[in-house]
Structure 1
Amino acid sequence: MALIWPRCVDADYCQLFPPEGMFREATAWIEPGDGRARVVLTNPRQTASIVFGGTALTLSRDTSAAYANGIATSKLPRLAWLGLLGGREVGRRSGVYLLEDYVSDKRPVVMIHGLGSSPLVWARLSNAIWGDPELASHYQVWHVVYQTNAPLLITRLRVQNMLDRAWEILDPEDDDVARDHMVLVGHSMGGVLSRLLVSDSGDVLWNAAFKVVPEAIKASAHDLSLVRGIFQFESYPGITRAIFLAAPHRGAPAAASWWGRLSQVLVGRRAQEMRSLQKVASRQPHSVVDGVRQSYLQARLNSISTLQTFQPVRAASESLLPIKGVRYHSIVAVKPGSHPPGDGAVPVSSAELEGATSTTYVQGGHGLPMNDDAVADVLRILRESLHERPGSDPTGPR
């Protein structure tokens, strides 16, 4: 059975569940009683079997029915595309969402979707985890919802803040086992965001955008703090593994094609954070690198423009790799007949990443979250990580 009820409103953790409501699987059976029967419901994840009439019975379960109901009622597919064009509703829904009750010692698998997409793209992978007893007992699924029209580095900062808020609610003491065993799974632009979340920027991005040190910038404390947060950051704590699916780490040439240029015009440019960057560029235009000055002055950057291969700050970000201690994996799609080799949107050369613990090539297009071979490889990585020795070498076969 699928149990469905409205999202709670009486506690902070309620905001970590989908607005459409809360959906949980259940198994029900009928037991005879004194003159009347009774219906019993239980969570099969917590109660795998019962004893009835002296006989042990294994409970049947359906790990996907509850989530399927949630998908059927979700408005996210439409809102995601509207959000790419500048619609604000998906932005109001932005956040980290739990698809099951939080467990303090289960590893969160944080899934980050790509451009114009939504967490519903993770249906197959999420169901595969819930349907595997070993994985379901060690991992909990978290989905990130974000508006995909903002510049890449601004979105990275937003996702960082979303994760911070989730942990403030779930683990205010900062001592749960789950906090130090996070896994990121990112598709397309979400894969690039995942890489940036496990990297230290140092001064690489700042120097690609500005000619002066931060201390020389004349701006309000708020504007300077925000701009520094966009260009200077450290790896998000507690992440031990990252999996990148069809991620354009070296940019997406399609973003500079005719339809990419058209998309750049159509995609919204309402990122509020750009106002702070615009103020800084307006006050000290000669402190900004020539190649980006005009776009900052006009606040005209969006997600498409920051994926273009020649964009200076994006190009500088190529050198940022996950920090030592974070194992990372690339899953690369190859579409037969594609030139250059790739999935039709992201070339193989852009999706590959040096130093990866594993790189898996699968046949198909860009939609890897729905590719059976790609999903199987993510499951393989999750299983292997459960059996690795603590402190073992994070690098492996290339």
Structure 2
Amino acid sequence: MLSRTDLTVKNKRNAINAYNDSLLSLLKMPNSEQSHLEVIRDGADSYIVASEMDAKDPRLQPKIWGEIGLAVTSIERNSGDIDHVYYPKEGIFNVGTFIAGDIYLDGLVLKVHLKFHDAIYSQKIKFGTNTHTARVSPGAAYLGLLNVADIDDFSLLGFTTPAKAEARRGVFSIGKFAADKIPLVMIHGLNSDPLIWKYLTMSILNEPDLQTTHQILHVYYPSGPPPFFNAMMIRRDIDSFLSTFQPDASRSEAVIVGHSMGGIIAKTLVSSPQYASWDATFKSRPEIVLMSENAELQDIFIFEPLFEHATVFFLDTPHRGSAVANSFVGSVGSALVRLPSDFKSIFKNFIERVGVKVLTPEMLPFLKDFGPNSVQVLAPGHPLMQALLKLPVNGESYSIIGSNTQHVCDINSLIGCTTISDGVVEFNSAFLGDKKDHWLSNPHTIRSIISKQLII
């Protein structure tokens, strides 16, 4: 019937529904030696049927689109091999569609082949001269990951004892990576993890136009060490990721979203400080004082944008620091951080060789003990934060500033804006105010802005 061209709309819909229902029955049918029907499935050992997934939180309910086939998620164990290193440790959850393939008799047994179609892109299924879109649900694959995710166990651990969380550091593709999609990189903040992006991620995956054009990448990093060290590590991770999956592709554009300290890291991915950060830290240029074993030290302070053009979203980012870092709460938090020895050795080996005389007076208090930690860097007036503040973004930027009081102010005159704060980051710190930065009030969402700026 699906091959016929003379069906009424109602009969066509009934035929599609019958076909899809049959696929579900076949997928769930257990094979046994006594059965005269054998179902042969492609691919992974385990599947989740999208239509049977029910999120406890309505905001995380995945959508299904398309006409024909059985929308499923295949589940593959992450082996840790090179092909899997850039996927979540909890497993590889791949979007797909089951379609009926060959049907034939083998003796007295009727064999039905269920073909798994990878659904990185929109698939077209043909019956005769009729073409139908395959049913898919990228959101269902993500919900499957969320249901077993344990990365949130490493939020506090990565802040207080980062060495114990280092094994989970990395850049991870959400869904099977597609090399020709625009990278959309999400970077969490202090004492946090990638699960803070679950609502935004689901919202994007539930939007066909965005999902088919953007590749979501989640970043996890232990947040106890300072943002400029973590930024260096993340730049290396992203560069390695893209070199693995896109060795011949140009890095023309990307979307980067950073929350709080993640916004500070995001800005280092789209800026070129030249010697600004280095000169804020050291009295002598690197070519004078560095040796080959100090490569990591140079990479912390001197870097180039990862992409030719980026659209960056800063969420409650303390560009000018946060007063909370100097408060009692900040002092307690700072005292809890145990910086890993491999981080401290970067500065220890260098300073013991050249002496503290090479440090600027402003940076001496932070580096004399081979620190600092992330809380100390986020305090107002830190030299590196001030240097980064002056750097232009290599692209466009949007500031999204939260408030636990008022939600509206006059952005032109700034009347009423200075009292806005989310309790940690004040407006005056989060608002960049340069010509290439756009301030967004609360009614906007990142998803809608991405849609308006990059799709329409």
Per the normalisation by structure 2, the TM-score is 0.74
Identity of aligned residues (%): 25
Deviations along 1:207-253, one digit per CA (max 9) or x if unpaired, are 22122232342x54212x32222122222234422111111111111
- Name the residue aligned to 1:368: none
Matched, 1:348 2:427: yes
Q: Tell me how far apart the structure 2 counterparts of residues 289 and 357 of structure 1 sit (CA, whole Å).
A: 31
Rate the CA distance shift 1:287–1:33 in 2: closer, same or farther, 3 A.
closer
Matched, 1:313 2:392: no
- Name the residue aligned to 2:210: 135
Q: Which amino acid letter does the alignment assign opposite residue 344 of structure 1?
A: G
Q: Tell me how far apart the structure 2 counterparts of residues 378 and 271 of structure 1 sit (CA, whole Å).
A: 40
Listed as ranges, the gaps of 5+ residues in structure 2 are 1-48, 50-72, 105-109, 408-417
- Name the residue aligned to 2:253: 181
**Cα drift, residue 37 of structure 1:** 5.4
Q: Is the 8 A contact 2:170 2:237 kept in 1?
A: yes
Matches within 5 A, 1:20-169: 20-28=90-98, 33=103, 35=110, 39-43=114-118, 46=121, 48=123, 50=125, 59-169=134-244
Q: Tell me how far apart the structure 1 counterparts of residues 257 and 281 of structure 2 sit (CA, whole Å).
A: 29
Q: Tell me how far apart the structure 2 counterparts of residues 71 and 63 of structure 1 sit (CA, whole Å).
A: 13
Q: Tell me how far apart the structure 2 counterparts of residues 57 and 170 of structure 1 sit (CA, whole Å).
A: 30
SS at match of 1:88: helix
Matched, 1:263 2:333: yes
Higher Rg: 2
Q: Which amino acid letter does the alignment assign opposite residue 137 of structure 1?
A: T
Q: Tell me how far apart the structure 1 counterparts of residues 302 and 95 of structure 2 sit (CA, whole Å).
A: 43
- Name the residue aligned to 1:359: 439
Q: Tell me how far apart the structure 1 counterparts of residues 200 and 341 of structure 2 sit (CA, whole Å).
A: 31
Q: Tell me how far apart the structure 2 counterparts of residues 105 and 87 of structure 1 sit (CA, whole Å).
A: 34
Moved more, 36-45 or 244-253: 36-45
Matched, 1:207 2:287: no
Q: Is the 8 A contact 1:328 1:356 kept in 2?
A: yes
**Cα drift, residue 384 of structure 1:** 1.9
**Cα drift, residue 287 of structure 1:** 1.7
* Aligned pair partner of 1:291 in 362, 382, 385: 362
Rate the CA distance shift 1:238–1:382 in 2: closer, same or farther, 3 A.
farther
Q: Which amino acid letter does the alignment assign opposite residue 431 of structure 2?
A: E
Rate the CA distance shift 1:298–1:138 in 2: closer, same or farther, 3 A.
same
**Cα drift, residue 298 of structure 1:** 0.9
- Name the residue aligned to 2:245: 170
Q: Which amino acid letter does the alignment assign opposite residue 340 of structure 1?
A: T
Q: Which amino acid letter does the alignment assign opposite residue 441 of structure 2?
A: Y
Deviations along 1:340-359, one digit per CA (max 9) or x if unpaired, are 31111111111111223421
Listed as ranges, the gaps of 5+ residues in structure 1 are 363-372, 388-398
SS at match of 1:230: helix
Q: Tell me how far apart the structure 2 counterparts of residues 16 and 317 of structure 1 sit (CA, whole Å).
A: 29
Matched, 1:245 2:315: yes
SS at match of 1:141: strand
- Name the residue aligned to 2:44: none
Q: Which amino acid letter does the alignment assign opposite residue 300 of structure 2?
A: I
Q: Is the 8 A contact 1:335 1:344 kept in 2?
A: yes
Per the normalisation by structure 1, the TM-score is 0.84
SS at match of 1:291: coil
Q: Tell me how far apart the structure 1 counterparts of residues 342 and 225 of structure 2 sit (CA, whole Å).
A: 9
* Aligned pair partner of 2:450 in 362, 374, 381: 381
**Cα drift, residue 58 of structure 1:** 5.2
Rate the CA distance shift 1:5–1:257 in 2: closer, same or farther, 3 A.
same
**Cα drift, residue 267 of structure 1:** 1.7
SS at match of 1:286: helix
Q: Which amino acid letter does the alignment assign opposite residue 448 of structure 2?
A: L
Q: Tell me how far apart the structure 2 counterparts of residues 160 and 108 of structure 1 sit (CA, whole Å).
A: 14
Moved more, 31-40 or 329-338: 31-40
